[in-house]
Amino acid sequence: MKLQETFRALSDPTRREIISLLRDGPLHVQQIVNHFATSNATISHHLAVLRKAGLILDEKQGKYIYYELNTGVLDEIIAWISSLMDQEECVCELKQEHS
């Protein structure tokens, strides 16, 4: 997992909104574009950043490209954050034991 690319992709509110839209299942690009008051080119750029970070997958079906969440990458992020929280809990427990 490339954390730097992943977090850069997630740092933008439009990209986070795209991720939220895809939570309920795959959408084709026009369905995504229709949710925003911006150009197709801008949304295409955001989709490219998300795809490069591995957060979304794309599949051409007929004349449309459908996008969906790559839950594997999201699971890796959650696991990494959870491991940090577990470490923090251990440190807190050690501090309490020595108080």
Helix (H) or strand (E) holding 26: none
User: Is the Cβ–Cβ distance between 59 and 66 less than 8 Å?
Assistant: yes
Condensed to tens digits (0 to 9), the pLDDT of residues 38-78 reads: 999 999 999 999 999 999 999 999 999 999 999 888 888 88
| Exposure b/e, 44-69, CB count within 10 A at least 16 = b | eebbebbeebbbbbeeeeeeeebbeb
Of residues 4 and 96, which shows the higher confidence score?
Answer: 4
pTM recorded for the entire structure: 0.79
**Domains along the chain?**
3-70 (1.10.10.10)
pLDDT at 19 over 90: yes
Q: Could you say which DSSP state residue 53 is in?
A: T
Q: Could you say which DSSP state residue 66 is in?
A: E
Condensed to tens digits (0 to 9), the pLDDT of residues 76-88 reads: 888 888 888 776 5
Tell me what pLDDT residue 85 has: 79
End-to-end CA distance of the chain: 38
Tokens in use for 77? 């992020």
